[in-house]
C-alpha cells in the first residue's frame, strides 16, 4: 500500500513542536493492504518530535517516552562465581555461531548469522535464557538457537506497521506509560476486538511485544501487561488454541520478559478460559499474574490511563498514535544499533549501554549523551514534566 503522507492525518502540535522527517519504511519489507472494511492506514513518511515547554492543553494521543524519574528498574542480583562461569561458557558458544537454520524443520538449510541476530545476543539476553533454563548449559544454547530460528521462520521483519495497522484501529493494544518499576505498560483491551480470529492477531501481539521491548529504558528487561476484559464478549475471547500458541511464543521466545500481568474485570467465560490454559502456564509466569488488584497500586496515577483508574487523560486516535509509536521505536532502535556498531559489534554487549545508560560497553565505550536526550527528550528536561507535557498535542484545528 502507498505510504504517501495524508495531510488529513498529519498531527498538528499546538506549542513547542520541533518538526523532523521520519525515516522511510524499507521498501523491501512486506506491506499488506488493510482489509476492505478497515479505514485508511496512517502515513509513516512523516511524524513529529515534540519538546514541550508548556502544560498540556488536551488529551494525550501519543506514547509516553519515559517513566517518572522516581520510578527505577529493580537491579538484577550479582552473578555467583558459578553463574559467571556458565555465562562465560554460553557466551563462547554463541559467539562461535556462523550460521542459523532458516526453519525449525529437521535438517533445514542454514544461512549466515546476520548482524541483527548478533546484536540480539546481548549479555542480558543470554542471562535471561540461562535463568529460564535453570542455568543449564545444555538447554540454554538450544533455546537461544530455537528462538533465532523461530524469528527467521516467523518472518518478524515482514510485520510492517501498515500490515499490522488494521488490527489496532480500535486501540485494542496500546503501549502507554510505565509502572512503579519503570516497566513499559502494554494495555490489552479484548473488548475492542475488531477482527476475526486469524494468524495476524497473533502477529499483532508479537509486533507489539517487539515495540514494548524497544520502549524499555536503560536497566529494564521486563514489561507490565494490563489486561482488562471490560465490555468483552465471548465471541471476542481467544480460543484455547490461540491461548496455547500465545503461551508457546511468550514462554519460549520471550523468557523472563514479563514483570507482572495485571488482569481485571474477568467475565465467567474468561475465568473458564484461564482454567483451561492454566496447565500450560509455567509456575514463574503464574506468580506474576495478579487478578483484580487496584492498578494504581502498581502504576503511578499520572501515567495510568484514566479509564483504568489513573489520572492520565489519554484518547486513542489511530491516525496519530500508530505512526508516533513506530517513529519513536525506529528512532530508539537506530540509536541502539549505532551504539552497538560504535562499540565493535560484540555478541554479549550490555543492554544498558545499548539503551543509552551509564554502563560502559564491553570494550569500555561510554555514552556521552545523557539518557534523557538519548531517548529523544532533548535538553536534559525533567522527565516528569516531559511525560506530562506530551499531552500538548491536537489533531486538526
| pLDDT band at residue 362 using 50, 70 and 90 as cut-offs | very high
| CA-closest candidate to residue 61, choices 348, 385, 312 | 312
What pLDDT, on a 0 to 100 scale, did the predictor assign at position 339?
Answer: 97
SS3 99: strand
What pLDDT, on a 0 to 100 scale, did the predictor assign at position 266?
Answer: 74
What pLDDT, on a 0 to 100 scale, did the predictor assign at position 276?
Answer: 66
What pLDDT, on a 0 to 100 scale, did the predictor assign at position 17?
Answer: 31
pLDDT digits (tens, 9 = 90+) for 172-190: 999 999 999 999 999 998 8
C-alpha R_g of the chain: 21
Strand-by-strand arrangement of the 184-188 sheet: 173-178, 184-188, 223-228, 258-264, 289-291
Of 379 and 205, the one with more pLDDT? 205
What pLDDT, on a 0 to 100 scale, did the predictor assign at position 275?
Answer: 72
Q: Outline where DSSP puts E strands in 244-329.
A: 258-264, 289-291
> β-pairing, 223-228 with 258-264?
parallel
pLDDT digits (tens, 9 = 90+) for 45-58: 433 333 334 445 68
What pLDDT, on a 0 to 100 scale, did the predictor assign at position 59?
Answer: 95
Domains in the chain, CATH or no CATH each: 164-241+255-329 (3.40.525.10)
User: Largest alpha-carbon pair distance within the chain?
Assistant: 62
Residue 26 pLDDT > 70: no
Residue 191 pLDDT > 90: no
Average per-residue pLDDT for the chain: 81
What pLDDT, on a 0 to 100 scale, did the predictor assign at position 292?
Answer: 87
90-99, 127-136, 222-231, 296-305: which has the minimum mean pLDDT?
Answer: 222-231
pLDDT, mean of residues 114-132: 98
State how far the Cα of 382 lies from the Cα of 377, in Å rounded to an integer: 9
Q: Please, are residues 317 and 62 in contact by the beta-carbon 8 Å criterion?
A: no
pTM equals 0.79
| pLDDT band at residue 241 using 50, 70 and 90 as cut-offs | low
pLDDT, mean of residues 200-227: 96
HSE at residue 66, side-chain half, CA atoms within 13 A, is 27
Residue 383 pLDDT > 70: no
What pLDDT, on a 0 to 100 scale, did the predictor assign at position 5?
Answer: 38
Show Cβ contacts of residue 60 under 8 Å, excluding neighbours closer than 6 positions. Answer: 312, 313, 314, 315, 390, 391, 393
Residue 299 pLDDT > 80: yes
Residue 101 pLDDT > 50: yes
Residue 201 pLDDT > 80: yes
pLDDT, mean of residues 239-244: 67
Q: Please, are residues 74 and 256 in contact by the beta-carbon 8 Å criterion?
A: no
Show Cβ contacts of residue 268 under 8 Å, excluding neighbours closer than 6 positions. Answer: none
DSSP states of 182-201: SPEEEEE-GGG--S-S-HHH
Q: Please, are residues 301 and 177 in contact by the beta-carbon 8 Å criterion?
A: no
| pLDDT band at residue 233 using 50, 70 and 90 as cut-offs | low
What pLDDT, on a 0 to 100 scale, did the predictor assign at position 274?
Answer: 67
Residue 23 pLDDT > 70: no
Highest mean pLDDT range out of 191-200, 223-232, 284-293? 191-200
pLDDT, mean of residues 122-128: 98
Q: Please, are residues 71 and 182 in contact by the beta-carbon 8 Å criterion?
A: yes
Amino acid at each position: 500500500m502507498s505510504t504517501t503522507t495524508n495531510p488529513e492525518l498529519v498531527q498538528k502540535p499546538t506549542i513547542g513542536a520541533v518538526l523532523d522527517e521520519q525515516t522511510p519504511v524499507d521498501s523491501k519489507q512486506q506491506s499488506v493492504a488493510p482489509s476492505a472494511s478497515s479505514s485508511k492506514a496512517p502515513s509513516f513518511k512523516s511524524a513529529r518530535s515534540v519538546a514541550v515547554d508548556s502544560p498540556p492543553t488536551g488529551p494525550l494521543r501519543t506514547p509516553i517516552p519515559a517513566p517518572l524519574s522516581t520510578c527505577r528498574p529493580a537491579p538484577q542480583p550479582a552473578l555467583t562465581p558459578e553463574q559467571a562461569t556458565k555465562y562465560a561458557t554460553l557466551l563462547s558458544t554463541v559467539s562461535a555461531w556462523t550460521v542459523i537454520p532458516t526453519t525449525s524443520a529437521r535438517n533445514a538449510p542454514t544461512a549466515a548469522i546476520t548482524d541483527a541476530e548478533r546484536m540480539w545476543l546481548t549479555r542480558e539476553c543470554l542471562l535471561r535464557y540461562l535463568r529460564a533454563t535453570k542455568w543449564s548449559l545444555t538447554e540454554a544454547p538450544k533455546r537461544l538457537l530455537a528462538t533465532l530460528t523461530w524469528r527467521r521462520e516467523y518472518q518478524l521483519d515482514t510485520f510492517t506497521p501498515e500490515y499490522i495497522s488494521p488490527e489496532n484501529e480500535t486501540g485494542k493494544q496500546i503501549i502507554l506509560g510505565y509502572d512503579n518499576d519503570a516497566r513499559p505498560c502494554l494495555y490489552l483491551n479484548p473488548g475492542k476486538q475488531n477482527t476475526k480470529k486469524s494468524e495476524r492477531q497473533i502477529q499483532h501481539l508479537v509486533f507489539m511485544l517487539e515495540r514494548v521491548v524497544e520502549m524499555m529504558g536503560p536497566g529494564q528487561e521486563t514489561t507490565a501487561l494490563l489486561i482488562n476484559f471490560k465490555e468483552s464478549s465471548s465471541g471476542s475471547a481467544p480460543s484455547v488454541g490461540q491461548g496455547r500458541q500465545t503461551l508457546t511464543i511468550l514462554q519460549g521466545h520471550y523468557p523472563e520478559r514479563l514483570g507482572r500481568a495485571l488482569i481485571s474485570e474477568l467475565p465467567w467465560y474468561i475465568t473458564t478460559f484461564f482454567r483451561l490454559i492454566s496447565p500450560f502456564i509455567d509456575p514463574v509466569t503464574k506468580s506474576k499474574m495478579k487478578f483484580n488488584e487496584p492498578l494504581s497500586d502498581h502504576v503511578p496515577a499520572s501515567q495510568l490511563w484514566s479509564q483504568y483508574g489513573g489520572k492520565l487523560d489519554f484518547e486513542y486516535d489511530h491516525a496519530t498514535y500508530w505512526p508516533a509509536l513506530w517513529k519513536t521505536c525506529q528512532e530508539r532502535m537506530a540509536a541502539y544499533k549505532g551504539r552497538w556498531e560504535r562499540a565493535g559489534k560484540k555478541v554479549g554487549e550490555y543492554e544498558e549501554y545499548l539503551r543509552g545508560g551509564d554502563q560502559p560497553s564491553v570494550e569500555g565505550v561510554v555514552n556521552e549523551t545523557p539518557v534523557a536526550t538519548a531517548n529523544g527528550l532533548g535538553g536534559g528536561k525533567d522527565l516528569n514534566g516531559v511525560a506530562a507535557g506530551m499531552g500538548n498535542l491536537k489533531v486538526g484545528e
